[in-house]
Amino acid sequence: MTPEIPPEISIIASAVLVAYLGICLSIGYLGFKKTKAELEDYFLARRTIGYIAVTMSFLATCFSAWAFLGHPGQAYTSGVFGAWWGPAWWIWSGLLVWLFAKRIWKLGKERGYITLMDYFYDRYGSMLPSIVAAILSIVFLVPYVVPQIMGFGYLLNLITGLPYLYCIIIPAIIAIIYVTLGGIRSVVWTDVVQGGIQFFGWTLAMAIIFFAVGGWATFHKAAIETPELFEWPGPVGLVTPQFWLSMACLCMMWTLVNPHTWRVWFAAKSLRTLKFMFCVYTIVQYYVAVPAILVGIPGRVMIPGLSKLEADKIFPLMLLKYAPAWLWIIMFTAGVAAAMNTMDTQMLAASSMATRDLVQRLKPVISPKILVLTARILVVVLALISLYFAWIRPAMISLIGAMAMAGFSLMLPSIIGGFLWRRGTKWGVTLSLICGVIVLFYTHYIHKIYGFHGVVWGLLTATIVYIVVSLLTKPPPKEVISRFVEKK
């Protein structure tokens, strides 16, 4: 099924990869030289990241192995509507975020926030909700990192023929090194390089592949041969009304509830920087998502018979079969870059929460140098855990990512409630998260209810528990609440 790759192309692609990874390591070293042994500097670069760097880092983080592999794979297996479950709701995600981003950024700057959990600690007047939220977020960040490792593993395996295990270990080690050394500076600077390669290669590859396979004529052929690609519920019956509503719950809120996005916002130099980033993001997300469908649907006609897991490889398979050899090399590098620039951000986010919200909360009297050293060690530990799960490959890339997003979504009632409702309490947040995650896992893995993704029931449970428990327990002092909830 996989096209034969000429040995000389494999050698050239491997050489380009080595050079690219060398650049990443060099950037990591430069970041290390500029980073001071302070948490705010290691995780936020003292809130000095400018327009281009913040925007490229945010975009590169959001459009990762999911964009290159998961989204075309979802189009291949589930058709147009199966692939459109994200883009259909993204515009609302951007609007929801902008309603709160200004206040989030200002609070972060005034109150010294480093993580989302700093907001929980400050707003609800207790370390309990921040610790619970941090633990749950770290748990769900692992399945967010896993698809990125799987993504570059698939690409390296296709282009080099090396065993999958070697293909996931090599880039992961490089990412671990430069993130550990330079913190956010290494992450942001590599994201600028990686993002540039990613978007240039994406534009070129999508156009060439689409027209090489016959353009709209192939779409027409797909509609005739496999009409279910363009119908509900799709070829595998995935796209039901329940599925669509479930994905709406995920995609409308995912930017607001992802812990790693808050860290990027806190690092922004100014509010104008943040505004510029969101304007670009709203446009670019469709620029990335729509062309993926233009590869996944024709792929069903040109390379039929792929299993669900193999469908994640449809984009590189189409590339190898229909694109010129020089484009293989560009896109091979771009695909690895796309996976690495999300992996590095997630690792840093997980480390920031483990260090700031667990270690420092539980042991406030600890030197800045020890804290930064702890953060670096935790980057390695969390990356190795993710590497293990990427090795066993539990599911399709897009579905693993969706489960991670579902976990983050449980924080939505506590985030929005903290800004809009004066009665929200620490016990409301804590029990909301605990009950929400129990229901999420039960209704997703053990007993599905009416065909909905577990996120629907988990989020509903989290919302109800947050409101009811908060009404039954004592709220924080009025002077604390007044910093967050505007008086009518």
Q: Please state, in angstroms and rounded to a whole number, the distance separating the CA atoms of residues 252 and 250.
A: 6
Q: Tokens representing 40?
A: 């705010």
Helix (H, G, I), strand (E, B) or coil at 166: helix
Q: Are residues 284 and 378 in the same domain?
A: yes
Q: Tokens representing 305?
A: 């018979």
Q: Write down the pLDDT at residue 120.
A: 94
Whether the CA torsion 133, 135, 136, 137 is positive or negative: it is positive
234 lies in which domain range? 7-241+257-398
Q: Tokens representing 33?
A: 């030289």
Q: Are residues 236 and 371 in the same domain?
A: yes
Whether the CA torsion 258, 145, 91, 77 is positive or negative: it is negative
Q: 395 to each of 150, 262, 401, how far by Cα in Å?
A: 10, 28, 10
Q: Please state, in angstroms and rounded to a whole number, the distance separating the CA atoms of residues 73 and 90.
A: 19
Q: Say what angle helices 412-420 and 87-111 make with each other, to 10 degrees.
A: 60
Q: Are residues 313 and 433 in the same domain?
A: no
Whether the CA torsion 187, 190, 195, 201 is positive or negative: it is negative
Q: Write down the pLDDT at residue 20.
A: 84
Q: Are residues 416 and 376 in the same domain?
A: no
Helix (H, G, I), strand (E, B) or coil at 126: coil
Q: 401, 328, 403, 379: which is closest to 151 by C-alpha?
A: 401
Q: Are residues 214 and 128 in the same domain?
A: yes
Helix (H, G, I), strand (E, B) or coil at 128: helix
Domain CATH number, residue 206: 1.20.1730.10
User: Cα angle at 414 between 411 and 416, to 5 degrees?
Assistant: 105
Q: What is the DSSP letter of 46?
A: G
Tally of residues, the chain: 488
Q: Please state, in angstroms and rounded to a whole number, the distance separating the CA atoms of residues 381 and 374.
A: 10
Does residue 95 form part of some domain? yes
Q: Are residues 133 and 272 in the same domain?
A: yes
Q: Are residues 442 and 394 in the same domain?
A: no
Q: Write down the pLDDT at residue 405.
A: 77
Helix (H, G, I), strand (E, B) or coil at 268: strand
CA atoms within 13 A on the CB side of 181: 20
Does residue 149 form part of some domain? yes
Q: Are residues 477 and 430 in the same domain?
A: yes
Q: Are residues 209 and 345 in the same domain?
A: yes
Examine the fold and report which residue of 341, 365, 398 is the final residue of a domain before the chain moves on: 398
Q: Are residues 39 and 96 in the same domain?
A: yes
Q: Write down the pLDDT at residue 338.
A: 74
Q: Please state, in angstroms and rounded to a whole number, the distance separating the CA atoms of residues 351 and 179.
A: 10
Contacts of 19 (CB under 8 A, 6+ apart): none
Q: Tokens representing 475?
A: 């709220």
Does residue 1 form part of some domain? no
Does residue 248 form part of some domain? no
Q: Write down the pLDDT at residue 400.
A: 58
Q: Write down the pLDDT at residue 90.
A: 64
Q: Are residues 329 and 464 in the same domain?
A: no
Q: Please state, in angstroms and rounded to a whole number, the distance separating the CA atoms of residues 80 and 296.
A: 9
What are residue 11's phi and psi, to 5 degrees?
A: -65, -45
Examine the fold and report which residue of 398, 422, 450 is the final residue of a domain before the chain moves on: 398
For 315-360, the DSSP string reads: HHHHHHHHS-HHHHHHHHHHHHHHHHHHHHHHHHHHHHHIIIIIIH
Digit-by-digit pLDDT tens for the chain (488 residues) are 555 677 777 888 888 888 888 988 898 889 888 888 888 999 999 998 988 888 888 877 666 666 667 778 888 888 877 776 656 556 677 777 777 888 888 899 999 999 989 999 999 989 999 999 999 888 888 877 887 788 778 778 877 778 888 888 888 888 889 889 888 898 888 888 877 777 777 778 878 888 888 878 877 787 788 788 887 777 777 778 887 777 777 777 777 888 878 888 888 998 888 888 888 877 777 777 777 777 888 888 888 888 877 887 788 788 878 888 788 788 777 777 777 877 888 888 889 999 999 998 888 888 888 988 999 998 888 888 888 888 876 555 455 566 777 888 899 999 999 999 999 999 999 999 999 999 998 988 888 888 888 888 999 999 999 999 999 999 888 888 888 887 65
Does residue 314 form part of some domain? yes
Q: Provide the domain count of the chain.
A: 2
Q: What pTM did the predictor assign?
A: 0.82
CA atoms within 13 A on the CB side of 82: 26
Does residue 403 form part of some domain? no
Q: Write down the pLDDT at residue 461.
A: 96
Does residue 346 form part of some domain? yes
N-term to C-term CA, the chain:
64
Q: Please state, in angstroms and rounded to a whole number, the distance separating the CA atoms of residues 20 and 5.
A: 21
Q: Please state, in angstroms and rounded to a whole number, the distance separating the CA atoms of residues 289 and 287.
A: 6
CA atoms within 13 A on the CB side of 380: 8
Amino acid at 132: V
Q: Please state, in angstroms and rounded to a whole number, the distance separating the CA atoms of residues 49 and 272.
A: 12
Q: Write down the pLDDT at residue 469.
A: 97
Matching residue, tokens 């156009």: 207
Q: What is the DSSP letter of 49?
A: B
Q: Are residues 390 and 454 in the same domain?
A: no
Examine the fold and report which residue of 360, 376, 398 is the final residue of a domain before the chain moves on: 398
Q: 430 to each of 133, 168, 177, how far by Cα in Å?
A: 8, 36, 35
Does residue 12 form part of some domain? yes
Q: Is 265 exposed, middle or buried (0-12, 13-18, 19+ CB in 10 A)?
A: buried
